[in-house]
Each structure stands twice: as structure tokens, then as C-alpha cells.
Structure 1
Amino acid sequence: SAKRDYALCKLADDQITIGEALTKKKRVLVTREADSLSKDQLSLEYLGWRVAFVPDEDDVSGKYGQLAAERKLVRCWDFDLPEADGRVFHGYARRFVNTYVPHFDQADEQTADKYGKGEGEAEFDREYPIKTLHHIACEDRKLLENGQWRGEIGLVTLKGDVDNLGALFQQGLEKPTFAKMASLSRQVNLFFALWLPWFCEHGKDEQGVARYRNTYTVFAGGDDFFLIGPWKSTIQLAGEIRQHFTKYMANENITFSAGMVMTKPKVPARQLARSAEAALEKSKEHVEKRRPVGSNLFELLPLACANEFAPTKAELTKNAATLWNQTVSWTDWHELMTVRAKKLQDLLEQAEDHGAPLSSGMVYSLLELADKAEKDQSCNANRKPEDSLWRSQLAYRTSRFITDRVRKKGDEDINAIRRILFTAVNNELASALDKHRGAYRLPLSVLLYGRRK
């Protein structure tokens, strides 16, 4: 290759050029003959045309108009990402190409210690400082007052896919026409191909923090997506995507399922894809059943108890998420990872404020109790008497956690404080375990990984 200092065929060289140009340039030109317009011009002709990538500022020179007047320019497409305010059109025909990759910025340079030294120093001075998977895996670490960084170094790979899309095209349209099917297809594609990359770059969480900018969008378009990002942010992003997708579709019958896997950054990309695909398949197999508990009331059964009421028709299928080998519906996901997680975090902060910080040992104990609560169900043929002891064991461990460690502040009544904290923490944990059983491992695992040093 004339561009590189090693031997390479022209086709392979073009593939590398395309990959580099998509993250650095803004336009792609299709011309009738080779031109010196751009150094990022592909070496080979494709179907008789020449292809070149150009930066945003090149159109100011008027070269595009000159090429068009000379009938050399066949097509000019803009594949730049939308602006932060959502503006899409930049004066050229659009092609939705996922080109967003995480970059270093000044804020990252100020907190460079979180990346450690295992992968060498971050190259902030490069013209296009793109983050590696190791750097992305470090993004959810938090700086403590003592100068240490806390939080697991890990990635979450997220794959998602719209449920029953074929059946939707076959049966979901009243008086189906090609125009209606094409419109529906474009609408679904735009959510993943246009909105999702924009949201990864500019989207903010409930606190107004742009925490998804470190997400690597491997692909997004059609009816599916494949993302790699910092473990905690990507877990939260999954719920955000689901909420926005539901709002966008405005139809509760159009859903998607997702599979997530958490790994170290050195795991090969092929293994990441296979593991995430396996998790997605588990989500696609998710079934929830309802059994009558009154004339017009129904109670959701956990999947483990589904066979107990086999004659009952499955009403809720797919529309689920899988993480750490635990599959739950999106409704339960929101309650576990948002509502329950926030309640528990608030209570633990109160305990820590009174001298009782959460220990890893306590989290491991709660994970063990979640396993016992999962087994303690009437539909479990292997249920053991000792499995039903999880409630009393929870009360004992919570009491030890609060009583032995909570200290008073000022003129507070220490016994009253301990009693209030014990009641609040124990009631929340008991309620969550009783309702969600083993699925409560999800927010507990987030707590555990967030405390790693």
C-alpha cells in the first residue's frame, strides 16, 4: 500500500480507509473519475464509480459545484451525526451511517488516573483520540475523598431486537399496502439508525449528565442494535432505550427484548457478540403467566412457577431483558433497577451518614438470601425447609448491620435512630425479596460491582 508502511492489497486498504474516514469525515462523494479532491479516496473503482470521503469544510471552497457542473459528481451524501439540538439536515442528501465512537476530551484528561497504567497512557494529544475498550471499561469508576478510584473495570455488551416484527407486518396493519409497510419499516429503522447514535453522544440521564457518550455503537439500524459500553452506564442505557422506544412507538404491542453480558475489556469481540446473543435468546424465551386471584384480578407469576398453571394461556412473552443470567420483564427491570435501587441507595446513604457504610460482606449475604428466596416458592419441587428461613436471617443480619455500626450524631437518640433505620432497611429488603425473589440479585450486583476497588 502506498499509504502505509506495510504490504496490503488495495481492497483491504480501502476497507481500512473507510473505517478511518467514517469517524473523521462528514461527506461521501461518488464521482465518475479519480480526482484530487480528497486524500481519503478509495484505491479501487466500485461498479465503475470512484468514492471519496471529504471533511465538512471542503464544501466551502465551491469544489462540489464545480464537479457537478463538469458532470463528474454523481452523488454527494451527508452522513454526519445530528447536532445536539436534534438538527439533522445540513444541506445535503442524508445517509444514516453509524459513525459515533467515544473520544477523549478535556474532562477525561483531568481524570486520567482512573484508566490506570495497564494499557499505557491515554493519547490525549492525538488528532483523533479515540478510546480503547480498556478506557471505556474504566469510565464508571468514581473518585473517593482519599484519592482512590472505586468501581469495577468492566464492559457490558448489549444486544437488542424488536419482538415479533414479522408477525407485526403480517397481521398488525389494517388493509396493508406496500406504502404502509415501507413507512413502518422506515419508522423502526430511524429509531435505531438515527436516534440511538445521537442519544449515545448527546443524551443525558435524569441528573442531566451525558453519561452515555462512552458507548460504542457497533451497529444500530433495521430492528436491532449492538452496543458496548461502561458496565453501569450501559445497564442504565438499556432501560432508557426501552422507555424512549415505548414512547416513540405509542403502541404497547410493539416491544423489543435485550440481552446483556458483563466482561473484562480484554475479552475478544467475537466472544462478546456470542455471549450477548445467548442472553438475547433467553430474553426472547421469557414467558410470564397470570393466574386469577379474584373476579377481575390477576397475579403475575414468576417464570419458575409457570408450569404450576400450565393450562393458563401465556399472555406476556418476550419483551424482557437478561443480565447476569437473570431474565425479567421490562416492567420488573424498571422497578428493580430504578425504583428499588434508588430506595435502597437512599437508605444505605442514611446508614453511612450515621457511621454504618455498606460492606461487601453484607452485599454477599443479601445475594445469598436472594438465592434462598428464589428457592422458597411453593412451585419449587426441590424446596427445602431451611430455604424459608431467609426472612428471619434477613432481620438478624440487618439488625447486626445497623445495631453494631450506627453511631449517633450530636444529641440524637441513638436507640431511636437505630430502630428507625432497622425498620426502614429491613422492610425495604424484605418487600423486595418477597416480590422479586432471585431477580433482586440485579440491583444488589450493581451495588457490589460499584464498590470494587
Structure 2
Amino acid sequence: VESLEKLSHIESISLWYEHLESLMAIYLSQVPSARAGNVFPDVSLYDHSRIVAAIAAALYCYHADNKTLNVEEIKNNELDKFLLVGGDFYGIQKFIFSEGLGAEKNRAKILRGRSLAVSLYTELAADLILRDLGLPCTSLVFNAGGKWILIASNTEKALEVIKEKEKQINEWLFDVSLGESAFGITYITAAAQDFEAGRFKNTWDKIAEKWAEKKFKKLDLDKFGGEIKDFLDKFQNDLEPPVCAFCGKRPSDREASQKRKEEGRAICRICHDHLFLGENIVKKEKLAITSPDADIKGEKLLVPIFDSYQVSFTSGELNALAKGGKLYRYWTIALDESGNLAKDITVRPLAGYVPVYRQEDFYDDRILWTRKSEAKKEQMIVEMDEGKIKTFEHIAVKSLFMKKENEKVMPVGIPALGILKADVDHLGKLMSLGLKREEYTVSRLAALSRQMNQFFTVYLPYLFMTDQRFQDIYTLFAGGDDLFLIGPWNRITELSVVIRDKFTEYTCHNEEIHLSAGIAVQKPNTPIDRIAEIAESALKQAKKNNRNSITVFGETVKWDDFKKMREFTEKLSSWFESGFINNAMIYRLNTFIDQAEREQEVLERKEIYREDMHCLKWRAFFRYITERNVGKNLKDKEKRQAKDEFSQVVKWIEAYKGKLRIPLWEMIYNNRRGGR
């Protein structure tokens, strides 16, 4: 009750209602909606209330429009009174990862801005329809991962609004993305009885089919096909460069370039807005969405979203705007340092987690030990400013360890980025087939979607914020059922296991719900579209292994085997540190792995040729090399013990073959001297 009294913007009922819905999520999402009788209390009071509100609002609009607001008509469950409207943002990866030649310095900032922009475009596309139809925010029943579903009334007005808004959204997106992104909106009709348990499964399958069909006609080619009219006329050749330095696609703009003089290169209006979003998402906690003509002080978008929404990070007094109907949304976009959620306004955890410079970073000497030129090192030091987003170069440097050798402290390892891309396996099947037909209800699906989304949007940012091991992890996007993270390469491999274990706990160790992941290791100056491509390829490779797997260094293993590989990494490192083995022996192991794989191919072929026989001798060579090289600097008893202990590697190779490249290369990269 105390929190209810503190809700803001009572002067705007729609805004206050959204704050109330957010407050209910905090207090009621773990309270069952029903306990009396023979029921299984698996739907929260929050999810049940949202769905009831969505259905009630659509039902009222239908009967009000048809002038049939009477008990008998309302009780008719067979008429198609509802529309299930689905939205899907196409081309998200192309939108986020486009890169011009001048974007290197601010890649981290602009990527975060684009990721936030995608979230805003998705949310506001739904809001555009809801606002025109007079429906509340609770009518949006699913919203995650660039997709949403809302419940509207099946009226002529609603159908006209859907068609009109899809046209408005895609015309705007076409100008912004030059046809690389689009927003598909589709719908089906439904009766009240179609929401009942036992029948809703068919309803869900129909909307899924509509979504699948829409993917093949994302854009109206009659309208958008061919060359873009007057495109070249928009370029201003006196700007340097005439084409935006950040996206490499859109024409540079004088006003945007003037506002971003510190970038040193001309920029387009859209990239200006993405930099604005990326900068402020780590500095500000609250985001305001207003009408384009709202009197907002301070920085804001140069190009209002869909020409209908202005975005700013103002935290001033907004009651006058709310009262005048010009403050549409007001959100807290990040957790506080203790992981708490705001209770006075709406919570939308869009900020994720991005690493910023902290005081201790100014005393970290690892930057000075990289192979970069003195000018580059100086530039990296100058770029450091407390509270700013860390550059990918700084994140990569965090992969190094400082070790004392011969009275000198030297860097060990390689300064590289790890890129982790992961998603929930077969989520479509889980949503479609994960419940018995008699338990298949819209409330349960909404709860599943919300809870899945919250693992990525709420729990993971909290983990990165509170666990010192992962405070240099950069969230490019995390939501719905997938994530894309960038960090120090060795922290990313460690993090992948933590995420998998936490997700397994979160899903109550359900063996049918699991993740697949791909990890790529790249230098920090690798083009971002190339980074995305490599990470996506690694994830696809993991999916080919019957899923529930991870791909690292080109090798794919099940998660339990990956944990075993990490144990091998620790064992190899301890042997190396204790002097059991040297660099030459480590690289020899890679040769033995190659020969063991070749041996398996030969034996499976059931015939052997003379030129293949050399691979059968790898065990003998292994024992010979072990006798010659293991424990060279140890005394007799210790040397014998070292050789006996190291001989277990033969069993590792026989059991895991190419999978052993994972611990081998992790150990090699982590122990490379000189930080290069």
C-alpha cells in the first residue's frame, strides 16, 4: 500500500496505469492466482491479471463499437470478437552491426545505442497501435526478443489502424535502414472460447503460421522495390566524409556533425541518435518518451521514432507534460547497485550491463604492455574517463595476467575479445509443445515468456554488476531467449559455464530446457560485422551437435564435457607452472591430437594403406617424448612421478580427441609470454 501511494503521474491515467502494472509485477509475480480447489498454482496473480485486463479491454472496445454492451451479447463466446496481433522486427543483426570506417573509436558506444534503439522501435511499434485504439499497456501480452503479441478488438477501426500503422512504421524504417530492416505485423481473429484451455493451442499455432508467412513478404516490393529515389541528392560533398563515418550507408548531416564535432568525422542523423542513446544509457537511470513537440530541455533525438515519439533522458519535473498528455512513457531502465527495482515508476530493464571506467582502471598497467604503438597506448589512456563506456581495446587488455618472473612483473596471455552468442534451444517447440493441450493457456504462455525474458534482462545484468569476475562483460543484447556478450576472452569462457549452470537452476533442472552457445576469440580491432558472423557460425555449429552444446576454438562439446575440458585446462596449467612440461611439449600435444583423429578415421574405414600407418604410432611417440621431455628439471623420484602423472594424457586423447584442443589452446593463450 505504501508503494501504491508513491506511484507517480496520477494526473495521467494511462501513465499511472503503466506504473501500477510494473508495481504489480514486482509484488504479485510470485503470488499464485488460485489456490482453492483442485488447481495447480503455476500462474501468478500478476500474469493472470494482465491477461484478464487485456481480454476485458478488447471485449469492451468490440461491444462499444458495435453498440452491443449488454449481458447476452457479452456472454456470446462463439463470435470472433478479438484480434491477436503479432509484430516482428526483421533484420536486427544487420541493423546493429553495420559499421563505417570511422566507427572504431566509438564502437562500444554506438553498438549499445543501436541495441537500445531496436528495443525502443519494437516497444513503440506496439504502442503506436495501442494508443490509436485506446487500449492500455496491459493489452501487450507478449514482448521479448524483437517480437510481440497484443490483443485488440475485431473491428473495422482496428483493422484500419493495423494496416495504417504498419505502413507508417515501415516507411520510416525504410528511410532509416535503407531497406535492410522491416517490421512485420500480422493478425488472426479469435473468439472468447479460443482462449480456453484445450483450444488455445490451435489459436497459438495459427498466429505462429501467420508469422512464418509474413517473413516471406516483409516489404511491399511494389512500393519499396528498385532504386531509392533522390538518394544521391541527399549527400553533401563538402562534409568529410559525405557518407556517414559510423554506418557507411546514410548521408552525413551538417547539424548532426556539428553536434558531434568531437568525433572528428561527419555523421548522419540516425547514428547521432544512436550515439546519444549509447552514451546516456550508462549515465542515466530514467528514460522519457514524449510527443515530438513536447518542451524537453537538454539533448534528444534528431529523428523522432516513427515521427511520433521523442526520447530523452531527462529526470526533471514532468508532471506538466504528463497532465498535458505529452509524456507517453517514463521508465527506469536499469537496476540500482543493490539489484533493486524502482517502485514509483515503470521498470523497463533495457540498459543491460556495460562496463564503464572505474577508479581502479586508472592504476591498471596492462595497457602499457600491449604491442600497440606508443601513440595508440597514449590514445587509450586519454580515452579513459570515469563513468564512460570502456572501449573494446580496454576490455581485451583485461584478458592479460600480470606475473612476477625473475624479479620483474610481466604480462601473460593475449589481449583478445571473447564473443559469446547463445540462445535457448527449441524455444519455439517449448512454446508450442511444452504444455499439455488441457494446460495450454495464454496466461501460462505469457508467464513462460516473461520469466524467460527476465533471466536475460534482469538476472544477468545483476550477475555482471555484482560478480567481480564479470564486471568487464559488455552486453550487446540480452532478452527474449538469446544473448550476445563481448568481454575478455578468458572471462567469457568462464562466464559461459556460469550462465549455463544458473539457467539450469532457473529452469529447475528440467532436462528439456537448455542452452547452446558459440564462442569466438578475436582481436579488438576486428570489424564488428565479422565478429558477429564468426560468433553466429560458432553457435550454428553448436546447434548441429543435437544442441545443449558449446563451440569454442572450432570444437563442439556438450556442456558437461566442457566442464571437464576446463578441469584439463587447470591441470595442464599446473603442470606448466610447476615445470613438468614446457612450451614444446604443449605444442606436441596438438600433433598427437591430430594423429589420434586420423587414426580414428583410418580404423573406421576398415582398410588401411601404407601411407596411413604413421598415425597409428602416436602412442609410442607420446611415450618417447614423455621420457625425453617431461620433468627435465626435477630430481629422479619427482621426475618419475611427473612422467606417470602426465601419461594420463593418453587416456584423455583417446577419449576426447579433437575436443582436447579446447583446454590446450586455452592454456596456450593464457600462458603466452609478453602479452601478445
What TM-score results when the alignment is normalised by the length of structure 2?
0.55
Asked if 1:432 corresponds to 2:655, the answer is no
Quote the Cα distance in structure 1 between the aligned partners of 2:658 and 2:341. 44
CA distance in structure 1 between the partners assigned to 2:266 and 2:662 by the alignment: 49
How many residues are paired up? 396
3-state DSSP of counterpart to 1:148 = strand
Check 1:394–1:91 CA distance in 2 against 1; reply closer, same or farther (3 A cut): farther
Distance in 2, Cα, partners of 1:198 & 1:42: 29
- Aligned-residue offset at 1:178: 1.3
Match of 1:3 in 2: 259
- Residue pairs, 1:261-280, within 5 angstroms: 261-280=520-539
Q: 1:308 maps to what in 2?
A: none
Residue of structure 1 in register with 2:618 after alignment: 390
Contact 1:256/1:319, CA 8 A, preserved across alignment: yes
- Partners of 2:669 and 2:309 in 1: how far apart? 52
| Compared CA separation, residues 142 and 66, structure 1 to 2 (3 A) | same
Q: Which has the larger radius of gyration?
A: 2
For 2:633, the equivalent position in structure 1 comes to 405
Query: How much has 1:150 moved relative to structure 2?
Result: 1.3
Q: Which residue of 1 aligns with 2:310?
A: 50
The structure-2 alpha-carbon separation of the partners of 1:382 and 1:191, relative to structure 1 and needing over 3 Å to count, comes to farther
Contact map agreement 2:576 2:582 (CA 8 A) in 1: no
Q: Do structure 1's residue 224 and structure 2's residue 444 form an aligned pair?
A: no
Instruction: Give 2:466's aligned residue.
Output: 202
Q: Does 1:184 align with 2:448?
A: yes
The superposition leaves residues 278-305 of structure 1 with CA deviations (integer Å, 9 ceiling, x where unpaired) of: 111111111xxxxxxxxxxxxxxxxxxx
8 Å contact from structure 2 (residues 366, 400) kept in 1: no
Partner of 1:443, secondary structure, is helix
CA distance in 2, matches of 1:38, 1:176: 49
Query: CA contact under 8 A between 1:114 and 1:149: conserved in structure 2?
Result: no
Higher-RCO chain (CA-CA 8 Å, sequence separation at least 6): 2
What is the rounded CA distance, in whole Å, between the counterparts of 1:401 and 1:7 in structure 2?
59
- Structure 2: 5+ residue stretches without partners: 1-254
Question: Matched residues in 1 for 2:446 and 2:542: separation?
Answer: 28
- Which of 361, 367, 376 is the equivalent residue of 1:114? 367
Question: Deviation at 1:77?
Answer: 0.4
The answer to whether 1:320 aligns with 2:549 is yes
Matched residue type, 1:397: I
* One-letter amino acid of the structure 2 residue matched with residue 111 of structure 1: D
Q: Secondary structure at the match of 2:344?
A: coil
Equivalent-residue separation in structure 1 for 2:401 and 2:327 (angstroms) = 51
CA-CA distance at 1:99 after TM superposition: 4.2
Structure 2 CA distance for aligned equivalents of residues 366 and 139 of structure 1? 28
| Structure 2 SS opposite 1:120 | helix
2:427 to 165, 170, 193: 165
CA displacement, residues 89-116 of structure 1 (integer Å, 9 cap, x when unaligned): 3532111213422222232221234353
- The answer as to whether partners of 1:23 and 1:99 remain within 8 angstroms in 2 is no
Give 1:25 shift.
1.2
2:651 and 2:444 mapped to 1: Cα distance? Answer: 47
Say which is worse superposed, 240-249 or 72-81, in terms of deviation. 72-81
Whether the 8 Å contact between 1:28 and 1:77 is mirrored in structure 2 is yes
Is 1:420 aligned to residue 641 of structure 2?
yes
**TM-aligned CA deviation for residue 37 of structure 1:** 5.2
Between Structure 1 and Structure 2, which shows a larger proportion of helix residues?
A: 2
Q: Residues 291-370 of structure 1: matches in 2 within 5 Å?
A: 317-337=546-566, 339-349=567-577, 352=578, 356=579, 358-370=581-593
C-alpha displacement of 1:365:
0.5
Residue correspondence of structure 1 range 138-177 to structure 2 within 5 A: 138-145=397-404, 146-174=408-436, 175-177=439-441
Read off the aligned partner of 1:213 and give its amino acid letter: Q
1:194 CA displacement: 1.9
What's the secondary structure of 2:382's corresponding residue? coil
Q: Distance in 1 between matches of 2:377 and 2:454?
A: 38
Q: Which amino acid aligns with 1:183?
A: A
Structure 2 CA distance, aligned partners of 1:369 and 1:437? 9
Gaps of 5+ in 1: 204-209, 287-316, 407-413
Question: Residue type of the partner of 2:335?
Answer: L
Distance 1:41 1:64 in 2: 15
Give the structure 2 partner of residue 233 of structure 1. Answer: 491
Q: SS of the residue aligned with 1:41? A: coil
Local SS of the residue matching 2:469: coil
Q: Distance in 2 between matches of 1:32 and 1:277?
A: 38
Percent identical residues: 31
What is the alpha-carbon distance in structure 2 between the residues aligned to residue 180 and residue 153 of structure 1?
46
Amino acid at match of 2:563: H
TM-score, normalised to structure 1, is 0.80
Matched, 1:87 2:337: no
- Tell me if structure 2 keeps the 8 A contact 1:30–1:74: yes
Q: Secondary structure at the match of 1:102?
A: coil
CA contact (8 A) 2:359 2:386 kept: no
Structure 2 residue aligned with 1:301: none
- Alpha carbons 1:200, 1:212 under 8 Å: kept: yes
Separation in 2, partners of 1:12, 1:403 = 58
Q: Deviations over 1:20-57 (max 9, x none)?
A: 22222111112346566541322444454432213xxx
C-alpha distance in structure 2 between counterparts of 1:131 and 1:381, whole Å: 56
Task: Sort the Cα spacing of 1:38 and 1:27 in 2 relative to 1 into closer, same or farther, 3 A.
Answer: farther
User: CA 1:379/1:107 → structure 2, altered by over 3 Å: closer, same or farther?
Assistant: farther
SS at match of 2:633: coil
CA distance in 2, matches of 1:444, 1:342: 10
Letter in 2 for 1:177: T
Counterparts of residues 10-89 of structure 1 (less than 5 Å): 10-32=269-291, 34=293, 38-46=297-305, 48-54=308-314, 58=315, 63-65=317-319, 67-69=321-323, 71-83=325-337, 85-89=338-342
Provide, for residues 224-270 of structure 1, a one-character-per-residue CA deviation record: whole Å limited to 9, x for no partner: 11111111111111111111111111211111111111111111000
Which residue pairs with 2:354 in the alignment? 101
Supply the AA of the counterpart residue of 2:340.
R
Checking the alignment, whether the CA contact within 8 Å between 1:259 and 1:283 is kept in structure 2 is yes
Match of 1:379 among 601, 604, 621: 604
**Partner in structure 1 of residue 667 of structure 2:** 447
Q: Which residue identity lines up with residue 335 of structure 1 in the other structure?
A: K
Q: Are the equivalent residues in 1 in contact too, given 2:572–2:667 (CA < 8 A)?
A: no
Identify which range, 235-244 or 11-20, moves more after superposition: 11-20
1:331–1:127 CA distance, 2 compared to 1 (3 A): closer
Q: For structure 1, which segment, 73-82 or 134-143, has the greater mean C-alpha deviation from structure 2 after superposition?
A: 73-82
Name the CA shift for 1:379/1:199 in 2 (closer, same or farther; >3 Å).
farther
SS in 2 for 1:361: helix
Q: Is contact 1:347–1:424 with CA below 8 Å preserved after alignment? A: no
- CA deviation after TM superposition for structure 1 residue 163, in Å: 1.0
In 2 relative to 1, CA 343–120 (structure 1 residues): closer, same or farther, beyond 3 Å? closer
- What amino acid maps onto 1:432 in structure 2? W
Q: 1:399 to 1:107 in 2, by over 3 A?
A: farther
